[in-house]
Amino acid sequence: MATGNSVSYKDCSEEVSTVDLEIVQAKTLVEGSPWRVFRWRRGQAHYSGWYWAATTGGHVVYESRLELARLLLADFDPRVVAIAAQPFCVTAESRGERRRHVPDFLLLDAEGAVTVVNVKPAEQLARPKVAAALAWADELFTVRGWRHEVWSGTSPTTLANVRFLAAYRYPDRVDAAMVSWLERQVTTDAFLGELESGWPDRAADVRAAALHLVWRGRFRVELEVSLSAATVLERAA
Report the chain's C-alpha Rg in angstroms. Answer: 20
d(CA 26, CA 114): 7
DSSP 70: H
For the cut 90, the answer to whether the pLDDT of residue 211 exceeds it is: yes
What is residue 48's predicted lDDT score, i.e. its pLDDT?
85
pTM: 0.92
Domain ranges of the chain: 6-151, 156-235
What is residue 83's predicted lDDT score, i.e. its pLDDT?
98
Which whole number is the average pLDDT over 27-31?
Answer: 95
Phi, psi of 118 (to 5 degrees): -115, 125
| 78 CB burial (10 A radius; 0-12, 13-18, 19+) | middle
What is residue 39's predicted lDDT score, i.e. its pLDDT?
62
**Confidence category of residue 4, pLDDT binned at 50, 70, 90:** confident
**Confidence category of residue 149, pLDDT binned at 50, 70, 90:** very high
- Digit-coded pLDDT (tens) for 94-112: 777 788 999 999 999 999 9
- Mode of pairing for the β-strands spanning 147-151 and 219-220: unpaired
6-151 is a CATH 3.40.1350.10 domain: yes
Residues 132 and 82 sit within 8 Å (Cβ to Cβ)? no
DSSP 33: B
The DSSP line for 173-203 is GS-HHHHHHHHHH--S-EEHHHHHHTSGGGH
d(CA 153, CA 66): 7
